[in-house]
Structure 1
Amino acid sequence: MIPASDLRSGKTHKDENFPVASWVIHPRHRALILAFYNFVRTADDIADHALLEDSAKLALLDELEADLVGQGDSQPEAVALRLALAERAMPPRHAQDVLTAFRMDVNHRRYANWDELIHYCSYSAMPVGRFMLDVHGESKDTWPASDALCAALQINNHLQDCGDDFRDLDRVYIPDDTLARHGATQADLKAAKASPALLSCIHDLAARTETLLNQSDLLAVHVADARLGCEISVIHTFARRILALLKVRDPLGQRVHLSKLELVGYSLTGLAGGLWRRATGGAPLSRSTPGA
């Protein structure tokens, strides 16, 4: 079997649109978080690989999972995460859930409605937040708000990259019924500029994603670990700004990503806001399920 590391895109945690094990997080957690990231990034790059057959992608994802649970030792990223989890006596559940999403990326490239998209996010995004909470020993009461935030981040990313996803990967994460409701088609995603119908569809989904962010608004206040709370506040600030761009811009023809300078600026804004909100408190967490 091909070493999964040979298929990496070259993207690292420093290239993401959100902080990964930043200096805000306590040093004792960073090695485990980076092991998780490297495992997930490797699996993601396999699922997105332009030259691999689908059968080869699925076989590699299965091998990563086998090594993760101790049934092999051929893939270094899986072995590294397995050992890091073992040091904390943590199960591999969240990493396994993310592998399910990458198998879906190979086998299931269209989504009929919002509920199907949220179901995908329950494997592609929500386990990442739950992993971070578990690493910090947080209560499962924080999971619903975290799920909402992670789903919003995922859908933001889908909208930002909707043209590239269709052209390069033949994937459409914009639900079929939303396209139809606005009179748009999947073919509109090939254009250099969004049609009025597609633009209306994207702005509609961005507005709906705002509901998810609202459900996660107090997560940074209610996690017990102050450093994690500040990190969440930064991520939430990024998500709000990207969402603001998606509500008014065309991701096919305009910039809807944050620049390096903007990332620094909004990091400071989010950090200051997180510290202030933790100092002043907030309302109880909502236990509602993402998907409204």
Structure 2
Amino acid sequence: MVSDDGVARGKAIQRRTGKTFHLATRFLPERVREATYVLYAFFRVADEVVDDADGVPPAEQRAELERLRAAALGEEPTDDPVLDAFADLRETHGIADSDVNTFVDAMLTDVTKDRYETFAELRAYMDGSAAAVGRMMTAVMDPENPERALPHATALGEAFQLSNFLRDVREDIVERDRIYLPMETLSEYGVSEAALRNFEMSHGFRRAMERELRRTEALYREGVAGIESLPRDCQFPVLVAAVLYADHHRLIRERDYDVLSTTPQIGTLRKLALVARTRWHWAWNRDPEIVFRRVSCVPDASGDPDPGAGHGHAHEPNRGIGRRLLQGAVEGLRRLT
């Protein structure tokens, strides 16, 4: 049984380091919410081994990740409440050892690799850093037909991570000396690594960013298409997470793709408004794809935004009531967080 201490530690880590995901997690049913705190904490603990490793030799980073792997798989005892809770969670929910290994292997990749030549190469890395995370979350949610849900969970996990990569271009260079934009895309649009490291905005960089945004948005559409395969009490929270993460694309486009001078951040009021708008549409239509098109900034597959996307007005039965409900929901969500 997962310890209360492990859940509390996980919740504290998520609240401190993953504010957007924490907001979406709050809407999960308790049986999944507490497990999600533990999962997130394990991911962060492993991630910080390589992300906060200033001055730590690579050999020591690898040794620490192998220690985490052994504890997570229950192969070695641990006094770390996060690792102990994750090991219990893995057994309780039947999380595949292969997904744990794939995730840790991706963290090991971060120790020595900081450039990705092709998108295929980047996607292979994300199989551990993002797709495996989606598969573990799916195991915790326990859908009736996991074979149907898993491909979509993989796509959505990749979309979340790619949005983070696109948002954090400057931060990844400054703090970690990493570039997650595929070098082949940069080269195609005439962007040199030197120009990127000097944070030089150019027409070519804007085109490269737009290319990767479109690629990521295709993954959002693929991922959201599978939300209906999840248990009913998990669908709205996952949909909210997709809407919130995708909203970084709106920010990036509004800034004319400038993620080099600063890192775009979604404000708290904007997040709460998006959650309230998503809940309003969800009350009238329980189709995740339709609600996502109505609320998110992601255009439909034709490349044209849905007429009501991002505005919350199209096809609402009563806009006056909608506005009052929206205001009330924002106030309630403000207190929730």
Give the TM bin, normalised by the shorter chain. 0.7 to 0.9
Deviates more, 1:21-30 or 1:64-73: 21-30
Secondary structure of 1:74 counterpart: coil
Q: Distance in 1 between matches of 2:222 and 2:289?
A: 16
2:258 aligns to what?
A: 250
Q: CA deviation at 1:253?
A: 2.3
Q: Name the structure 2 match of 1:71.
A: 75
Q: 2:286 aligns with which of 249, 268, 278?
A: 278
Aligned to 1:241: 247
From the superposition, tell whether residues 256 and 73 of structure 1 become closer, same or farther in structure 2 (CA, over 3 Å). Answer: same
User: Cα gap change, 1:166/1:279 in structure 2, threshold over 3 Å: closer, same or farther?
Assistant: closer
**Alignment partner, residue 225 of structure 1:** 231
Give per-residue Cα distances to partners, 1:128-187, cap 9 Å, x unaligned.
Answer: 211121112112211122211111111111111111212221211111111110100122
Q: Any residues of structure 2 matched to 1:253-264 within 5 Å, and which?
A: 253-254=261-262, 256-264=264-272
- Cα deviation for residue 17 of structure 1 reads 5.1
1:126 paired with 2:131, answer: yes
Question: Which residue identity is paired with 1:23?
Answer: R
- Which SS does the other structure have where 2:66 is aligned? helix
> Structure 1 residues 143, 181: CA separation in 2 closer, same or farther (over 3 Å shift)?
same
State the distance in 2 between where 1:108 and 1:165 align: 13
Mark the CA change 1:149 to 1:280 in structure 2 (over 3 Å): closer, same or farther.
closer
Is the contact made by 2:224 and 2:288 (CA closer than 8 Å) also made in structure 1?
no
Partner of 2:162: 155
* Residue of structure 2 equivalent to 1:215: 222
* 1:27 maps onto 2:30 in alignment: yes
TM-score (norm 1): 0.84
How far 1:280 sits from its partner (Å)?
8.9
Distance, in Å, in 1 between the alignment partners of 2:18 and 2:281 is 22
Deviation at 1:249, TM superposition (A): 2.9
Contiguous gaps of at least 5 residues in structure 1: 1-10, 283-292
Deviations 1:244-266 (A, max 9, x none): 22344311125522112212111
**Residue 168 (str. 1) matches residue 175 (str. 2):** yes
The Cα of 1:212 is off from its aligned counterpart by 1.2
The TM-score, its normalising length taken from structure 2, stands at: 0.74
Where does structure 2 lack aligned partners over 5 or more consecutive residues? Answer: 1-11, 291-337
Superposed CA offset, 1:50-71 (max 9, x none): 2311111111000000111222
Amino acid in structure 2 at the alignment position of 1:237: V
The CA deviation at 1:223 is 2.6
Q: Which of the pair has more CA radius of gyration? A: 2
Q: Deviations over 1:93-152 (max 9, x none)?
A: 433322121111112211111111111111111112111211121122111222111111
- Between the aligned partners of 1:43 and 1:90, the Cα distance in structure 2 is 17
Task: State how far apart, in whole Å, the 1-side matches of 2:263 and 2:129 are.
Answer: 24
Aligned to 1:206: 213
The CA distance in 2 between the partners of 1:140 and 1:275, in whole Å, is 28
Cα distance change of structure 1 residues 54 and 274 upon mapping to structure 2, 3 Å threshold? farther
Say yes or no: does 1:267 pair with 2:275.
yes
Contact in 2 for aligned 1:65/1:78 (Cα 8 Å): no
Q: Secondary structure at 1:12's aligned position in 2?
A: helix
What is the deviation of 1:279?
6.0
CA distance in 2, matches of 1:189, 1:149: 28
Cα distance in 1 between the residues matched to 2:264 and 2:113: 26
In structure 1, the residue corresponding to 2:264 is in which secondary structure? Answer: coil
Q: Considering Cα pairs closer than 8 Å and 6+ residues apart, tell me whether 1 or 2 has the greater RCO.
A: 1
Post-superposition offset of 1:281: 8.6
Closer/same/farther in 2, CA of residues 254 and 166 from structure 1, 3 Å limit = closer
Q: Note the aligned Cα RMSD (angstroms).
A: 2.4
